[in-house]
């Protein structure tokens, strides 16, 4: 996934950057530097009323240990954004390194089968908040939104962990961005 399409170089620019060509080059350089930041990779579940969704996400971090707060950066145009803003809950699932194919399945609109209890064919169950947890996630967090901070074209949803668990051995190797060829943001 590359940079947002259709936009020219985005400022601000350092003073050494003077020409249009310099700005283009700086824009590309900054993207590569941002892509080099290490990240994990997760599936974020969301729920509002009867509507459920799950999407691949890497902008995830713990933000406080008392209370236990976790922040996620969600694109304002994503369906997930609509559900989290409305439902006020989200889940985060880690992905086993051997299951890396999952992340590609959750970068497109999700097909929910509430009878078979599947999201794009992957079994799920509802967490305490009602948001979906993938059955094959090695570990999961269930969160209630405490703050929503608008940051550029994303919203930083800050959730308090209200439940969590392991569904596989605690030392199961989990997927990180560097295990894939994918990039996001930059």
* In the complex, minimum distance from the CB of residue 172 to ligand FMN, in angstroms, rounded to a whole number: 20
- Looking at the Cβ atoms of 58 and 129, the one nearer to ligand FMN is 58
Considering the complex, state which of residue 17 and residue 94 has its C-beta at the smaller distance from ligand FMN.
94
Counting beta carbons within 10 angstroms of the beta carbon of residue 143, is it exposed (0 to 12), middle (13 to 18) or buried (19 or more)?
buried
Candidates 47, 58, 87, 139; binder of ligand FMN (CB under 6 A) is 58
Q: Does 119 bind ligand FMN (CB under 6 A)?
A: no
Q: Which of 53, 91, 94, 129 binds ligand FMN (CB under 6 A)?
A: 53
Say whether residue 155 binds ligand FMN (CB under 6 A): no
Site for ligand FMN in 1-30 (CB under 6 A): 1
Task: Give the residue with the Cβ less far from ligand FMN, 26 or 79.
Answer: 79
Interface residue with ligand FMN, options 90, 140, 157, 184 (CB under 6 A): 184
Closest distance between ligand FMN and the C-beta of residue 53, in Å? 5
Distance CA 86, CA 83 (A): 5
Considering only residues 70 to 109 of the shown chain, the ones binding ligand FMN according to CB under 6 A are 73-75, 78-80, 107-109
- Whole-angstrom distance, CA of residue 127 vs CA of residue 172: 21
- Residues of this chain that interact with ligand FMN (CB under 6 A) are 1, 53, 55-59, 73-75, 78-80, 107-110, 182, 184
């Amino acid at each position: 996934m590359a940079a947002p399409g259709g936009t020219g170089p985005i400022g601000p620019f350092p003073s050494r950057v003077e020409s249009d060509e310099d700005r283009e080059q700086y824009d590309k350089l900054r993207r590569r530097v941002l892509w080099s930041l290490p990240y994990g990779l997760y599936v974020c579940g969301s729920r509002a009323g009867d509507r459920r969704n799950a999407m691949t996400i890497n902008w995830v971090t713990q933000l406080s240990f008392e209370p236990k707060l976790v922040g996620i950066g969600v694109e304002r145009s994503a369906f997930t954004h609509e559900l989290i803003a409305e439902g006020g809950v989200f889940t985060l699932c880690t992905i086993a390194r051997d299951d890396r194919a999952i992340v590609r399945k959750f970068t497109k609109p999700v097909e929910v089968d509430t009878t078979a209890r599947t999201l794009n064919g992957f079994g799920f169950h509802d967490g305490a908040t009602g948001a979906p947890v993938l059955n094959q996630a090695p570990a999961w967090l269930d969160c209630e939104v405490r703050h929503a901070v608008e940051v550029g074209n994303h919203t930083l949803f800050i959730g308090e962990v209200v439940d969590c668990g392991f569904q596989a051995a605690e030392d199961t190797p989990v997927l990180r961005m560097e295990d894939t060829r994918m990039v996001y943001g930059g």
